[in-house]
Structure 1
Amino acid sequence: MDYLAVLDVNRIQKKYQAENGEITALKYIDFSVEKGEFISIVGPSGCGKSTLLSIIAGLMKPTSGEIVVNGEKIEGISNRIGYMLQKDNLLEWRTIYNNVVLGIEIQNNLTSENKQRVNQLLKTYELYDFKEKYPSQLSGGMRQRVALIRTLAINPDILLLDEAFSALDYQTRLTVTNDIYQILKQERVTTLMVTHDIPEGISMADRVVILSYRPAVIKDIIPIEFGLENRTPLNCRKTPKFSEYFDCIWKELS
């Protein structure tokens, strides 16, 4: 795929001070992400996956190393990086439209051009007819789409997903990952997703980054290629290659 580099994670280390001494959570994490690429990050529970995402988002400082976006070192929170958590965090007293524009309101950037972009996103992804409704009137899957569009409205260079679908039931989760994958690919959004769900990670990713037990190092980075003309997460799960990738990643994690 013809991508341009957008993110460099350069030798990131994170150490904590605990009662029993210093703990190293991340040890020299080093990889690059190309424009439009979807990266899944998997690893054992407690290995530091979410910590890594928090460092990339600027919510946490690394002990050493640096995060570079489009050639520029990022320190602290940046509007070039969007972050989506497990909960949609929609404000129940605001309409769907007012939830979606919240980010650009906070940035004091609610221009006519951005309003037009929001309306176009709502129309494209079949939420325009619901824009005057409230979050409590929407299904869990629709709420996640609203949360995604709210994040895309600020036009970030990189989107971070931290177990963003884990609060959904299994059937809804399959449908939502399919919908969101297609949105992200259509919008060509560079995405990093932390997940405990290996099948989810495989079905959505261009590459899977496998972290070890703490202190986390990168054990392997596996390119994912299904050769499907119309690739969707659901289609990927039906192919023989899917099981091969699962077995490979499971062995690395075990």
Structure 2
Amino acid sequence: MDNVMVSLKNVSFKYHTLEGETEALNDISFDVYEGEFVGVIGPSGCGKSTLLSIISGLLKPSRGSVEVNGKIGYMLQRDHLFEWRTIWQNAILGLEIQKKLTEESRSYVKDLLKKYGLWEFRNYYPNQLSGGMRQRAALIRTLALKPDILLLDEAFSALDYQTKLAISDEVYKILKNEQKTAVIVTHDISEAIAMCNRIVVLSKRPAYVKRIYEISLTCDDYSPIGRRKAPEFREYFNSIWKELDIHV
């Protein structure tokens, strides 16, 4: 994992409103290496999604620098599938918008749908699928554009608990299988430990990096569900929970 895919150096960000400036991020630095899954966790409203927007280029930092080596794909909390389009039509939407719909790209989407169990549902509409299947379809739509880096912004939080466990397991396996790099923003500590190689813990706003955890688990099954059974899992959970600036 020598190749740096994302590098943040001393990144700060201020929102400008009619009332004045609001500092969201303060001097954030970390790297994301090729094939790595990095989790970003912190108190609600601390600027986690803002950080993803900066990595994606949607926002420019007020100070500091961001380097991204590769194409980015973005997965949001909602699947944002168009209800009037079939699963196939949703899967090729990004390619249509970017005018990249060729025989080769069609074949690639077809292979993805077959590989991940959605080909037989290609003529169904989103409201005919379960929440987990919809999220899988949204992921395939993102993968169709062949991104190198996936940004996941609370991508499973809209699902019920059982579906969330199952689909996070599926998404993890798909991204590993497709050899992607991922930055995962979540408020779910267990999800972050189960899916990530490292976890960046942010403070309350203005957010700075409080600590970066290297996740090393002893387990035979390295899927997210398997990793939850590791003896070290609870220790990481308790340590990260104490690190968060959450006051009830």
Count of equivalent residues: 245
2:43 aligned partner = 44
* Consecutive aligned runs of 4 or more in structure 1 exceeding 4 Å deviation: none
Separation in structure 2 between the aligned mates of residue 10 and residue 98 of structure 1, nearest angstrom: 40
For residue 240 of structure 1, give the secondary structure of its aligned residue in structure 2.
Answer: coil
Aligned residue among 208, 211, 230 for 1:217: 208
1:134 equivalent in alignment to 2:125? yes
Structure 1 CA distance, aligned partners of 2:149 and 2:9? 16
Give 1:91 deviation, angstroms.
Answer: 0.6
Shift, 1:66, TM fit: 2.2
1:113 to 94, 104, 115: 104
Residue 233 of structure 1: aligned partner: 224
User: Structure 2 length as normaliser, TM-score?
Assistant: 0.95
SS class of match (1:179) = helix
Secondary structure at the counterpart of residue 194 of structure 2: helix
* Aligned sequence identity (%): 55
Residue 58 of structure 2 corresponds to 59
Structure 1: which 5+ runs fail to align?
A: 73-79
Distance in 1 between the 2:185 and 2:238 partners? Answer: 19
Name the CA distance, whole Å, in 2 between partners of 1:21 and 1:136. Answer: 43
Alignment of 1:195-206 (within 5 A): 195-206=186-197
Matched, 1:246 2:237: yes
Distance, in Å, in 2 between the alignment partners of 1:6 and 1:60 is 18
Q: Deviations over 1:173-203 (max 9, x none)?
A: 0111111111011111110111011101110
Q: Distance in 2 between matches of 1:51 and 1:206?
A: 22
Alignment correspondent of 1:77: none
Deviation of 1:20 after TM superposition, in Å, equals 4.9
Match of 1:16 in 2: 15
Point out where structure 2 has 5 or more consecutive residues left out of the alignment. none
Aligned-pair RMSD on alpha carbons? 1.3
**Offset of residue 19 of structure 1:** 5.1
Aligned to 1:101: 92
**What TM-score do the two structures reach when normalised by structure 1?**
0.93
